[in-house]
Structure 1
Amino acid sequence: MGTLSAFNFLTLNGFYKGADGDISWHRHGGEESSFASDKMESRTSILIFGRTTYDQMASWWPSPMALESMPEVAKGMNESSKIVFSTTLESVDWENTRLIKGDLIEEIKKLKADPNVQMTILGSGSIVAQLADAGLIDHFGIMIDPVAIGEGTPLFTGIKSKLDLNLVDTKTFDSGVVLLNYVPMSITK
């Protein structure tokens, strides 16, 4: 069976994005950038996006500004295999990206049937909620920034059932950012 991970960063008050999709509050500093670069160098996962996150990522990572400010991460993001789930997009133009318009749950089940497939959802809160409800996410990486914002969207907006998680690992960055790694309780039983 393949694996599916979700990775998001959150504010202290649980938002993964602020008003109008703002993520400028996330600390992309030295140590966090090095962590992201290391993850990109070892990346074998297929990156999974919903339409909104795809639009943000596809407009940023191929840009000259991204290539200059975070070259290793930009290179990894651009070269990685990517899937965007959308019923409204007609086509995608970010390199190594394919568009799937089919049923999210069924398509992920098909992908996970291959034991060699590793997938990582970046952002994409609606997709995270749907796949968490379906019990298809094997790992949650949540990077908590030491910041609170006035309004935003909570990560698990829309889940229909209780999600019990078991903390398996933590990492604290010098900036005060904390990475929490969880697996569903059903996996650890």
Structure 2
Amino acid sequence: MRKVIMWDMVSVDGFFEAPGHDIGWFVFEDELAAYIGETQLEAGTLLFGRVTYELMAAYWPSAEGEIATFMNNVEKFVFSRTLQSADWNNTTLVSGDAVAEVEQLKQRDGGTIFIYGSADFAATLTAKGLVDEYRLGINPVLLGEGTPLFQNIPERTKLVLTHVRPLKSGVVILHYLPARD
């Protein structure tokens, strides 16, 4: 069965975006690019909610480099009840039952499934026990306000720390697995 990994950059105070969907505060440097390059090799599919999809689809098609090549070529699914089309290369629009679709994707052959951004969508999958691992890039910044990464989580979810990777920039990458009783 394929794994679903949630990967997000987050501020120390728990926000994954500042007001206005601003992500310009992320610390992005060579060590983080290397980490992304290493870990994206396991990805076979990306999942997005509508807002994150629109931001990604507006940026990556005209970007260049290894990450851009990956983003533009990998299989992608966007989950939205309001989008009419998803024109970014290799993207499938899903307007039906997100949980059922992700359950089916986990059963298919292929690489790991990643969720980037998409806090509301990820919360839905977390509530249904469909996220197998959480990878967080904690950025050395306090935003004070914005969109919390974890919201609408219906119950306490204990996590087990499996990996820590501090970067010279002050970003700390953490990997967690949900604790299984």
TM above 0.5: yes
In the other structure, the counterpart of 1:36 is 36
> Closer, same or farther in 2 for the Cα pair 1:43/1:58, shift >3 Å?
farther
> Closer, same or farther in 2 for the Cα pair 1:116/1:38, shift >3 Å?
closer
* Counterparts of 2:2 and 2:39, CA distance in 1: 19
Residue by residue, what CA displacement relative to the aligned partner does 1:131-186 show, whole Å, maximum 9, x if unpaired?
11111100000110011112111111111111111001111111010000000001
In the other structure, the counterpart of 1:18 is 18
What is the letter of the counterpart of residue 3 of structure 1? K
In the other structure, the counterpart of 1:2 is 2
Is the 1:146–1:176 contact (alpha carbons within 8 Å) kept by the matching residues of 2? yes
* Counterparts of 1:183 and 1:3, CA distance in 2: 11
What is the aligned length? 181
Secondary structure of 2:6's counterpart equals strand
In the other structure, the counterpart of 2:103 is 109
Gaps of 5+ in 1: none
What displacement does 1:98 show? Answer: 0.7
Residue by residue, what CA displacement relative to the aligned partner does 1:77-99 show, whole Å, maximum 9, x if unpaired?
11111000011111111101111
- Report whether the alignment pairs 1:51 with 2:50: yes
Secondary structure of 2:170's counterpart equals coil
Matches within 5 A, 1:36-185: 36-40=36-40, 42-63=41-62, 66-67=63-64, 71-114=65-108, 116=110, 118-185=112-179
Residue by residue, what CA displacement relative to the aligned partner does 1:66-116 show, whole Å, maximum 9, x if unpaired?
31xxx1111111111100001111111110111111111111112222364
What is the letter of the counterpart of residue 138 of structure 2? I
Identical residues among aligned pairs (%) = 38
- TM-score, with length taken from structure 2: 0.95
What displacement does 1:43 show? Answer: 4.0
What is the letter of the counterpart of residue 11 of structure 1? S
Is the 2:43–2:114 contact (alpha carbons within 8 Å) kept by the matching residues of 1? no
